[in-house]
Structure 1
Amino acid sequence: MTFANGVVARELIVDLDDTARRLVWSAVGGRLTHHNASVQVFDEADDEGACRLVWIADLLPHAMAPAIAEMIEQGLQAMKAALESAESSRHNEPPPV
């Protein structure tokens, strides 16, 4: 994975659970001595069609947390923009003939 700031991380997929809508991975190498993370999508009960994404990261050394948090925030914003763009395109497509 190459991040917007140029940082390259080698990531190992630990679990991919389509039913739970959850992805778990670990980053190896680099300056982190430990990294395990997950993202999971949950439906929002009070807003039909809406969902909430929860991204959890556990890492060492703790001093790296602010830099990793910034990269997570950038990743979340990129995902949000991509999903909103896809949704907008889907609504602007002409009906099938």
Structure 2
Amino acid sequence: MFVVVLTYRADLARVDEALQDHIAWLDRQYADGVFIASGRRVPRVGGVILAGGLSAEDLERRLAEDPFRRLGLAEYAVTEFVASRAAAGFERLLS
């Protein structure tokens, strides 16, 4: 499983201009079953994505297609981890 932390590198006006394309990209990742959760950081300085069921190479390929990355609007920090415990209802997260 992976935690992806996005940090914006452009002003929010530029981020907002690309937001609909970013959401369409997110939708494709959810449809493929590899994104588990995503959302904005608070304060709004970027976002967080939880992803699973794919290799680090596949994740990197997918992240390279994100409009935020292609346009230089965000940078990405990826952390891989193995979930060994999960709350009731979240057993899918276990490796």
TM-score (norm 2): 0.32
Q: Select the structure that is richer in helix.
A: 2
Relative contact order higher in (CA < 8 Å, ≥ 6 apart): 2
Q: Select the structure that is richer in strand.
A: 1
Pick the structure with greater CA Rg.
1
TM-score (norm 1): 0.32
